[in-house]
Amino acid sequence: MTISDEDIEKVRQDTDLVALVSEHIALKRQGRRWVGLCPFHAEKTPSFSVNAEAGLYYCFGCHASGDAITFMRAMEGMDFGQAVRSLADKVGISLRFSDNKDSIDAKNRKKLFEVMKTAVEWYHKRLLESSDAAHARSYLHSRGLSEEQIGFFRLGWAPSSWDLLAKDLTSNSPTKNYPSYSKDLLIAAGLCTVNSYQKLQDVFRGRIIFPIFDTSNRPIALAGRTLDGVGAGNASKVSDFGSAKVKSSSLGPKYYNSPETPIYSKRKVLYGLNWAKSEVVKTDQIIVCEGYFDVMAFFHAGFENAVATCGTALSEEHFKSLRNFAKTVVLAYDSDSAGQAGMEAFYQWERNFELDVKVVDLPKGQDPADIGFSDPNKLADILSNAKPFLGFKIHRIFSSLNLSTPEGRAKGAELALAQIAQHPSEFVRDQYLMVVASHCLIDENNLRQRLERLRKGSSDSTFGASTVASSNKMEYDQHASLRLELLRLVVNNSNQVKEQLTSMLQAAGFDDISAVLSPLAELLFNKQVARDIFCSVLAASEPRKVFALLPQEAQDLLGKLIAVHTVSDPQEVISLLIKQVSSQMLIKMSNQAKFESDSDAHKALNSLIIEVRMCLVKVDDPATRLKATGDLLAWLLRS
């Protein structure tokens, strides 16, 4: 690894794991832990646990575990170095590298975030103050946006001029209001391009700018929308300076988005999630729209749990992100054919990710932006009447056919049953079958026979059972063994355990706990992985620092231990475990005494057996527990 070990550890220490995980899933506090739906497997009951104090997570369903670096690698598909660099960016740590290339990559990512932030402010200021943005301001106000909302969403204006942004953000800028950046950086960020004259020019021209943020609230990309009568440019159609083509150029596509960069992937990012996240967690519902104005319209209507895709169709990667925040996804797509056609792939994801997908039925020819600003109450009513995904599809089938004719009803029944056959729940299928029977005037038994034939002949006929059986039952139950409970205390309350062991060992005549940790671990634990955790954590001045240094098997067990908070009394647990170990030793000693032929040795063994039995009795009494446990420890360690 080319990153210094010290910097890697600093990244672990400075990363707020709860905040990091919350960028991807909804977490709720339970005692000293945070819990939520696991981002690594589909489930309906939360089994993913985060221990903020230890900086570790664990899932009781799929057994995923680790720290902040492990989480980033798993969620983003990064290698170790990429994960460390990404986390360092988030917490503002300047990493030191032995490899110059890695150092340059990390600095470039940081610069990309910086230049995007500057560009967002540049475009926003142009919108608010520049005379050439008057048309854009009037347009936004006509759509229903207030000054406050324009500021909240950080909307901007890209002037029609070829290179104003490029001039202001390069080292040759005539103004000193903004930092200067290199030509290569502006190109890498997707803000500028080079024309055939090898001159730098702006990518976004004559467009309203919608900044796109990541869940950490950092601007990572832009979307630009043309205005009628205002010249615009885009990266795919760039005219030259001074060319006659400028006067006759078309406005280009209505919307243009930033290209993919090291900090932006349109297949993963949802516009507005940075603002909607808290409301999504509160309502356990997320509204997915097609456009940026649609999101703003929902916010205007009081529904601040709306997001949108960034110029691309809703993908499986989007769905993976959605199910981490809410159980219900409401699709608020346009009612035109393009919007509806995009819904056909969603049912598969609803099954795979165990989500409840609903669809709003928008009036023909209207989108949420048309309704939300002009009539918020109407949008609220439409949202409240959202249909389950299967119900919406059946409604679409029936509305497209003439059910007043036998042929129309027969066609409707066939198409509807084909959709119903795909649903995993027998009870849901039966409910919709009765809906079809009512609408199509066909006997229920005939429909059931046809449905069964469809199910048996379908390639999806085996998906009735849930693909993932989620359970909160732990592999290691809290009361399954005293050994496990002591380990849990060690990793969660190491100082208290150390204090109790020190007192007991001092009562046994041992002054230095570190000298007897290893033999004590041998006595108390029958597995090396447990001994490693016991010794490493208790010997460390800062226990959390040793977690990442333990073998992988120990880290896996550590995740399970940390995930469950314990309120057990360390003295009681240690004493009972010592009593348990001593009782096992006593049995062996009693068997040995039976076969001891030397009379003096036999007497000595019997005398020791009596002393040990007396100590075992005293362990049960809190008044004599400490001294008795110390005596047992002395016997065990010196045997």
Q: Poorest-confidence range of 177-186, 425-434, 552-561?
A: 552-561
pLDDT tens figures, 527-551: 888 888 888 888 887 766 777 777 7
pLDDT greater than 80 at residue 464? no
Closest CA to 361 of 338, 341, 381: 381
Q: Poorest-confidence range of 50-59, 131-140, 209-218, 239-248?
A: 239-248
The whole-number pLDDT of residue 207 equals 94
pLDDT greater than 90 at residue 115? yes
Torsion of CA 344, 346, 352, 353, to 10 degrees: 180
CA gap 56, 68 in Å, rounded: 7
CA gap 2, 81 in Å, rounded: 8
pLDDT tens figures, 69-84: 888 888 877 778 878 8
Helices 513-524, 625-638: crossing angle, 10 deg rounding = 80
The rounded mean pLDDT for the chain is 80
The whole-number pLDDT of residue 597 equals 65
Q: Poorest-confidence range of 481-495, 531-545, 593-607?
A: 593-607
CA gap 257, 238 in Å, rounded: 15
Over range 514-531, report the average pLDDT.
84
Query: In the structure encoding, which two tokens stand for residue 218, read together?
Result: 């950092």
Q: Poorest-confidence range of 151-155, 215-219, 538-542?
A: 538-542
Over range 432-437, report the average pLDDT.
89
In CATH, the number for domain 270-323+331-384 is 3.40.1360.10
CB neighbours (10 Å) of residue 545?
Answer: 12
CA gap 299, 151 in Å, rounded: 14
The DSSP result for 9-28, as a single string, is HHHHHH--HHHHHHTTS--E
**CATH 3.90.580.10 in the chain, residues?**
5-95
Closest CA to 116 of 13, 203, 39: 203
Furthest C-alpha separation in the chain: 117
Q: Poorest-confidence range of 133-142, 197-206, 289-298, 616-625?
A: 616-625
The whole-number pLDDT of residue 470 equals 26
Predicted TM-score (pTM) of the model is 0.59
**DSSP state, 217?**
S
**CATH 1.20.50 in the chain, residues?**
395-457
The CA–CA distances, whole Å, from 215 to 123, 274, 322, 594, 601 equal 21, 5, 13, 71, 73
The whole-number pLDDT of residue 286 equals 93
Decide which of 556 and 380 is more confident: 380
Over range 579-604, report the average pLDDT.
76
395-457 under CATH 1.10.3470, yes or no: no
Decide which of 296 and 577 is more confident: 296
The whole-number pLDDT of residue 251 equals 47
In CATH, the number for domain 5-95 is 3.90.580.10
pLDDT tens figures, 322-377: 877 888 899 888 755 334 544 556 667 777 777 788 888 888 778 899 899 999 99
Decide which of 452 and 99 is more confident: 452
Please give the share of the chain, as a percent, with pLDDT higher than 90: 21
CA gap 8, 14 in Å, rounded: 10
Residue type, 579: K
The whole-number pLDDT of residue 122 equals 95
The whole-number pLDDT of residue 89 equals 82
**CATH 3.40.1360.10 in the chain, residues?**
270-323+331-384
Query: In the structure encoding, which two tokens stand for residue 601, read together?
Result: 């040795």
Decide which of 144 and 586 is more confident: 144
Q: What class does CATH assign to 102-257? A: alpha beta
The whole-number pLDDT of residue 504 equals 85
The whole-number pLDDT of residue 477 equals 33
- Measured in whole angstroms, the distance separating CA 364 from the mean position of its chain's CA atoms is 36
CA gap 573, 488 in Å, rounded: 11
CA gap 635, 639 in Å, rounded: 6
The whole-number pLDDT of residue 236 equals 39
**DSSP state, 508?**
T
